[in-house]
C-alpha cells in the first residue's frame, strides 16, 4: 500500500477520538436550539456553558467565582474559527468604547491575514496602523514597539506563534509595554494553543483568539477570550447570542468538540510536545543534509512541531505537488496568484531574498506522527528536491545559478 504521511498540522489537524465522541450526542439526540426552553434546548445551553468553563480553565482565564471552582463564563466567546475571533477582537475593540476615541493600532508584518487584512480595512476607515518589523528569526523588535506606542495607541495585536515559521513572540513583555502605554493587548494564539503553555492572566493578555481545528478539534469553531471589562462592538448582529457579540444559533457540537479537544491537548501538553519536538529535531537534521537548504524561524523560541525550510533553486508549489504524489502532505508559503508566484509576506519580512523565498517548505508534525513517518519524509524530500533541481533552469553543475534565478523572478 502506498505510504501516506500527513505533515501539515499547522494547516489543520485530524479530529481526536475524544472530541468526536464528545460531539456525537449533540449532533444526534440533543439537537435542541440552546435558546429553546424545553429539555433538549436547556441541555444544549448547559453543555455550552460547561464547554466555556473548560476553555476558561485551560487558559486560566478567570478566577473561580464560587466554591465549586466554577470559572466566570462570560469571558469565552465562541466564534466560527480563528479568523472570526481576530476580526471580532480588532474591529470590535477599535469601534467599541474601550478604544476611547484613540485611533492607533500596533501589529507586526508577519501576522496572519485575518489580522493584517482587518487592520488594512480599518486603515481605510481612518485608523492608523503600525506594522512592526521582525528580525531574521521572526521576533518582533521590542525597541521599535516602545518607540511606536503613544497616547493614541488603543490596541497592540501580536501573534503568539507564527503559522509559517513557528517563531514564538515574547508575549508577556509585549503585553507589559502595551499596558504601560495605556493600550490593550490582543494575541492571535491560533497556532499556539494546544502546542505551548498559555496562561492569559500570567501573560497579561486582554484578548486571545484560538481555533479548534489546530489542536485536533473540529474545523469552523473558535474562541475569542475577552478579559472582563474589555468592551467590544458586536461583529454579527441578530439574536444576541455570545453576549450579543456574535449572533447566530450556536454550533453546539462544535463548541463541545473544541472544549474536549482543548482539555485533552492541554492536559498532556508537556509529554506530547516533548515527543513531537524529538520528531521535529530528527526531521530538521535529516532535511538540512540536503545542500543549499536554509532553516527558517527561531531555532529556540519556536513551536515544537514546526519545521520550516527554504531550498535554493526550487519552486515551492512544484515541490508540494511532487511530495503529494509520494503521499507526503506539507505546505509552502508561495502561492500562485494571477500567473505569478508571490513569496510569503512572512519570508519577505524575515529578509529572505525573493528568489530564495520561492522555495519554501513547511512541515508540521503532530502527536500522531512516528519516527517512521519522519524517515519517509526525509527520504522523499531529498529525492524530490534532487529531481526538481535536475530539471531546473536555475541549477547548474550541482549548485544554484542565482543570476538566472533573479532574472526569472524579476
Ligand atoms: C495564526 C493564525 N491565525 C488565524 C488563522 C485562521 O484560523 P481559522 O482557519 O480557524 O479561521 C490561522 C489559520 O491558519 C492561523 O494560522
pLDDT in tens, the chain (410 residues): 569 999 999 999 999 999 999 999 999 999 999 999 999 999 999 999 999 999 999 999 975 555 555 555 458 999 999 999 999 999 999 999 999 999 999 999 999 999 999 999 999 999 999 999 999 999 999 999 999 999 999 999 999 999 999 999 999 999 999 999 999 999 999 999 999 999 999 999 999 999 999 999 999 999 999 998 899 999 999 999 999 999 999 999 999 999 999 999 999 899 999 999 999 999 999 999 999 999 999 999 999 999 999 999 999 999 999 999 999 999 998 655 444 567 899 999 999 998 899 999 999 999 999 999 999 999 999 999 999 999 999 999 999 986 766 665 54
Q: State which H helix or E strand residue 336 sits in.
A: strand 335-337
Spatial separation of the C-alpha atoms in residues 391 and 404, rounded to whole Å: 14
Per the annotation, the verdict on 119 as an active-site residue is no
Distances (CA, A) of 233 to 149, 236, 390: 23, 9, 56
The CATH-assigned architecture of domain 269-409 is Alpha-Beta Complex (3.90)
Spatial distance between the Cα atoms of 364 and 373, rounded to a whole number of angstroms? 12
Out of 109, 157, 190, give the residue to mutate to test ligand 1, the one with the largest number of ligand atoms within 8 Å of its CB.
190
pTM for the whole structure: 0.95
Residue 361 burial class via C-beta count within 10 angstroms: exposed 0-12, middle 13-18, buried 19 and up: buried
**pLDDT per residue as tens digits for the range 273-330:** 999 999 999 999 999 999 999 999 999 999 999 999 999 999 999 999 999 999 999 9
Give domain limits for the chain.
17-267, 269-409
pLDDT at 338: 45
- pLDDT of 401 reads 86
219 contact partners, CB below 8 Å, separation of at least 6: 12, 81, 212, 213
Q: At the top level of CATH, which class does the domain 17-267 belong to?
A: alpha beta
Q: DSSP letters along 5-53, please?
A: EE-BTTT--PPPHHHHHHHHHHHTT----TT-SSHHHHHHHHHHHHHHH
Under a CB-based contact definition with an 8 Å cutoff, are residues 364 and 10 in contact? yes
In a mutational test of the pocket of ligand 1, which residue from 90, 114, 219 has the highest number of ligand atoms less than 8 Å from its CB?
114
pLDDT at 407: 60
Rounded-to-integer distance, Cα 84 and Cα 61, Å: 20
Residue 405 alpha carbon to ligand 1 centre in Å: 32
- Catalytic option among 58, 255, 329, 336: 336
The pLDDT assigned to 336 comes to 53
Give the closest residue to 56 by CA, choosing from 188, 179, 224, 211: 224
Interatomic CA distance for residues 265 and 321, integer angstroms? 31
In a 10 Å sphere around its CB, with 0-12 CB exposed, 13-18 middle and 19+ buried, how is residue 398 labelled? exposed
The strand pairing partners of 395, in sequence order, are 400
- Ligand 1 cavity residues, CB under 6 Å: 81-83, 86, 112, 114, 159, 163, 188, 190-191, 211, 222
Return the pLDDT at 340. 54
Distance 94 CA to ligand 1 centre (A): 21
How many A from CA of 82 to the centre of ligand 1? 5
Rounded CA separation 243/265 (Å): 27
CA distance 143 to 360: 29
Kind of pairing between the strands at 184-188 and 207-211: parallel
- Looking up cell 513569496 gives 343
**What is the position in ligand 1's atom list of the atom closest to the CA of 222?**
10
The confidence score (pLDDT) of residue 409 equals 53
Asked if 198 and 172 count as a contact pair (C-beta separation under 8 A), the reply is no
Ligand 1 atom index nearest CA of 213: 10
Buried-state track 367-386, b at ≥16 Cβ within 10 A, e below 16 = bebeeebbebbbebbeebbe
Q: Is 2 helix (H, G, I), strand (E, B) or coil?
A: coil
Amino acid at each position: 500500500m502506498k505510504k501516506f504521511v500527513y505533515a501539515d498540522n499547522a494547516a489543520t489537524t485530524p479530529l481526536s477520538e475524544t472530541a468526536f465522541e464528545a460531539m456525537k450526542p449533540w449532533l444526534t439526540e440533543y439537537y435542541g436550539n440552546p435558546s429553546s426552553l424545553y429539555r433538549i434546548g436547556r441541555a444544549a445551553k448547559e453543555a455550552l456553558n460547561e464547554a466555556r468553563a473548560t476553555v476558561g480553565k485551560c487558559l486560566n482565564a478567570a478566577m473561580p467565582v464560587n466554591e465549586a471552582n466554577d470559572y466566570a463564563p462570560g469571558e469565552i466567546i465562541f466564534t466560527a474559527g480563528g479568523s472570526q475571533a481576530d476580526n471580532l477582537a480588532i474591529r470590535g475593540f477599535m469601534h467599541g468604547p474601550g478604544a476611547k476615541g484613540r485611533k492607533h493600532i500596533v501589529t507586526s508584518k508577519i501576522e496572519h491575514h485575518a489580522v493584517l487584512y482587518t487592520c488594512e480595512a480599518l486603515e481605510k476607515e481612518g485608523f492608523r496602523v503600525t506594522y512592526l518589523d521582525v528580525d531574521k528569526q521572526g521576533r518582533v523588535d521590542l525597541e521599535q514597539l516602545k518607540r511606536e506606542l503613544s497616547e493614541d495607541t488603543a490596541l497592540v495585536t501580536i501573534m503568539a506563534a507564527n503559522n509559517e515559521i513557528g517563531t514564538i513572540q515574547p508575549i508577556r513583555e509585549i503585553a507589559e509595554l502595551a499596558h504601560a502605554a495605556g493600550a490593550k493587548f490582543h494575541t492571535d494564539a491560533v497556532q499556539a494553543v494546544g502546542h505551548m503553555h498559555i496562561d492569559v492572566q500570567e501573560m497579561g493578555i486582554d484578548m486571545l483568539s484560538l481555533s479548534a481545528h489546530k489542536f485536533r478539534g473540529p474545523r469552523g469553531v473558535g474562541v475569542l477570550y475577552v478579559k472582563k471589562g474589555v468592551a467590544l462592538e458586536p461583529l454579527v448582529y441578530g439574536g444576541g447570542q455570545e453576549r450579543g457579540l456574535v449572533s447566530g444559533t450556536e454550533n453546539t457540537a462544535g463548541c463541545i468538540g473544541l472544549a474536549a479537544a482543548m482539555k485533552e491537548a492541554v492536559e498532556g501538553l508537556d509529554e506530547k510536545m516533548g515527543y513531537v519536538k524529538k520528531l521535529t529535531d530528527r526531521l530538521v537534521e535529516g532535511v538540512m543534509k540536503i545542500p543549499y537548504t536554509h532553516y527558517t524561524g527561531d531555532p529556540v523560541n519556536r513551536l515544537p512541531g514546526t519545521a520550516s525550510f527554504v531550498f535554493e533553486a526550487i519552486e515551492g508549489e512544484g515541490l508540494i505537488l511532487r511530495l503529494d504524489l509520494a503521499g507526503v502532505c506539507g505546505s509552502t508559503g508561495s502561492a500562485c496568484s494571477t500567473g505569478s508566484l508571490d513569496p510569503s509576506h512572512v519570508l519577505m519580512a524575515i529578509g529572505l531574498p525573493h528568489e530564495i523565498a520561492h522555495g519554501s517548505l513547511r512541515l508540521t508534525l503532530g502527536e500522531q506522527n512516528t519516527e517512521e513517518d519522519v524517515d519517509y519524509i526525509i527520504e522523499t524530500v531529498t529525492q524530490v528536491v534532487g529531481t526538481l533541481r535536475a530539471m531546473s533552469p536555475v541549477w547548474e553543475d550541482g549548485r544554484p545559478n542565482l543570476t538566472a534565478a533573479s532574472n526569472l523572478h524579476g
